[in-house]
Chains A and B, each alone.
Chain A
Amino acid sequence: MSSADQAEGERTAAPVPERVGFTEEAATMIRRLTQQHGPLMFHQSGGCCDGSSPMCYQLGELRTGDSDVLLGRLAVDGVDEPVPFWMSASQFAYWSHTHLTVDVVPGRGSGFSLEAPEGVRFLIRSRLMEEDGG
């Protein structure tokens, strides 16, 4: 069992309203990366350089813990396990009023995110959460 699985089991996940979605282009890339690497996870980064980009790893590669919030699980057609999307709780405090959409654009992101060799980069697009959530 990966650390991510353990952590998810032990903590209350965020929230009833959907907080994170994905575009069809992102879904295509998630399917491709799942075929290459197996089950995946996202962790939203912050800070310098490629901060603000979602990092995509093999599930459990980054150890999540009590300092993280699970924003949602991306249910992608053709991918058996929904892909958890994490963010550090301190960052979530500043981001919680926005809904996030995982998109993908041509690029050459750095960090250890799995999609970079494909010549693309996952990107977050944001909108304000609706009053009634979602």
Chain B
Amino acid sequence: MSRYAAPGSDGAVMKYKSRYDHWIGGTYVAPKQGGYFENPTPVTGASFTEIARGTAEDVERAIDAAHDAAPGWARTPAAERAAVLNRIAQRMEDHLEELAVAESWENGKPVREALAADIPLAIDHFRYFAGAIRAQEGSLSEIDEDTVAYHFHEPLGVVAQIIPWNFPILMAVWKLAPALAAGNAVVIKPAEQTPASVHFFMSLVADLLPPGVVNIVNGFGAEAGKPLASSPRVAKVAFTGETTTGRLIMQYASENLKPVTLELGGKSPNIFFDDVSTADDDFYDKAMEGFTMFALNQGEVCTCPSRALIQQGHYRDFLDAGVARTEKIVQGHPLDTETMVGAQASNDQMEKILSYLDIGKQEGAKALTGGTRAELGGELEGGYYVRPTILEGSNSMRVFQEEIFGPVVAVTGFSDFDDAMATANDTLYGLGAGVWSRDGNTAYRAGRAIQAGRVWTNCYHAYPAHAAFGGYKQSGIGRENHRMMLDHYQQTKNLLVSYSPKKLGFF
């Protein structure tokens, strides 16, 4: 086992600045009202930098800078914009370890996940959209011999993006890459729990972007998020978060008649049919890993497979094996390369998870493993750690219905296909789902019957740029990833052109 040194300490691969101002128009800009807030690492609970506490004046300044930059960026040929995105990707690849350590320290996630998933996926995302924008073409329709409808893709202009804290860099890149590829200028508001790692990312790539094309305003939702989301000067708002804020953002957008895309989470079912256990082979091992995926990123994933539905024929054996697999999870210092589960991102997040373990117990759910805060001692004493937890109960319990956003899976059984689909769909949400079966017909029919935007079939928690991601039901509006994401950041311009010299004859 090896451990990366904490940012800024001896031997560290990266260090944070002691303070981050806003990044506006290609330079750091101090907050107009002069306020800053402390940014603690969830690894130890200690603060490691301070962050500008933005207000409406700062947001206005960032939107000004974006408007100054937007026309030039929109006119930049697609090939050049793609080249910029590819250069950003390369710069990130050259600094992969620094970015991974930065994200791990700020968010609490195990560095091995950041090294193997978050940052490589972010890099690939820039490359994917660099390719997608090169390949994108408008269209033309020949209306008649002398009349042609041309369809052009045009950028929206200045867009606002509000980023969650669970994947501070990857989620920013999911929104940035398509917006920039499509020719928009951006104002980003990172989450107040994880405001610094995006700045570290920006410090690596700032010289590659024209000033003002990407602007970062930090601060609290009520003080900086609201003026951004409600501004009539942004053409679109993209938000990842929860439902009440999603509604509020739609409400502001309706006042300005602007579009939104929303990703609001889920309560994803992970369904294991009996035939999974017909052999103790690689596939079974993969399915068992798929069950344990609820602990990935400490469960702080919108698509956390937080409901496991196991068919009755193999229920007990499969669940026992799942408990054993879960108990092998190594929890510890996020910067240890062997650590599989690190710290929850904030104290209030940990408190919320513990409150769910409490109501789960009251409702009669049985904790088969975990069920408490993890007291890891030493320098981790002040950090926010929760033991990976398996709760057994029924689908009507609160722990089966709300996104706990912790390393907690709620398990129940099902009798047959129809029972599985009824339970899977008995939820307000529809973001992700998992289906595990050796029978292709069963897996296909289940995938089509589940009301969710993505159904992982014999896999889970893969996030390739080329696969559309987004929610059914209350999980949101619109998609991220995939070339179709460009549509969310572009207008359609139709030129309807007549090449005939002849009048219509009406007047």
A→B interface (CB under 8 Å): 43-53, 55, 57, 61-63, 88, 90-91, 94-95, 98, 105-114, 116-117, 120-121, 123-128
B245 proximity list for chain A (CB < 8 A)? 45, 50, 55, 110-112
Contact across chains for B363 and A106 when beta carbons are under 8 A apart: no
Given A46-B402, A108-B348, A112-B245, check contact A127 B362 (CB 8 Å): yes
5 closest A-B pairs (Cβ-Cβ)? Answer: A48-B265, A107-B348, A47-B265, A51-B242, A45-B244
B429 touches which one: A47, A114, A117 (CB < 8 A)? A47
Given A61-B248, A113-B222, check contact A51 B358 (CB 8 Å): no
CA distance A113 to B244 in the complex (A): 10
Q: Which residue of B lies closest to A47 (CB)?
A: B265
CA distance A125 to B348 in the complex (A): 12
CA distance A53 to B223 in the complex (A): 19
B→A interface (CB under 8 Å): 37, 40, 53, 164-166, 191-193, 220-223, 225-226, 229, 240-248, 251, 263-266, 300, 302, 346-349, 351-352, 355-356, 358-359, 362-363, 396, 398, 401-405, 428-429, 474-475
CA distance A120 to B220 in the complex (A): 12
Given A112-B226, A113-B221, check contact A47 B403 (CB 8 Å): yes
Q: A50-B242, A51-B405, A107-B347 are in contact. List 7 more A-B contacts (CB 8 A).
A: A48-B164, A49-B265, A53-B242, A110-B191, A117-B222, A125-B355, A125-B358
Most central of A48, A55, A106, A126 by chain B CB within 10 Å: A48
List 17 A-B pairs, Cβ < 8 Å: A45-B242, A46-B242, A48-B266, A51-B243, A57-B248, A62-B244, A62-B251, A94-B398, A105-B351, A106-B347, A109-B192, A111-B221, A112-B226, A112-B229, A116-B221, A117-B53, A117-B222
Q: Which residue of B lies closest to A94 (CB)?
A: B401
Contact across chains for B349 and A98 when beta carbons are under 8 A apart: no
CA distance A63 to B244 in the complex (A): 10
B346 proximity list for chain A (CB < 8 A)? 107-109
A94 touches which one: B192, B229, B355, B396 (CB < 8 A)? B396
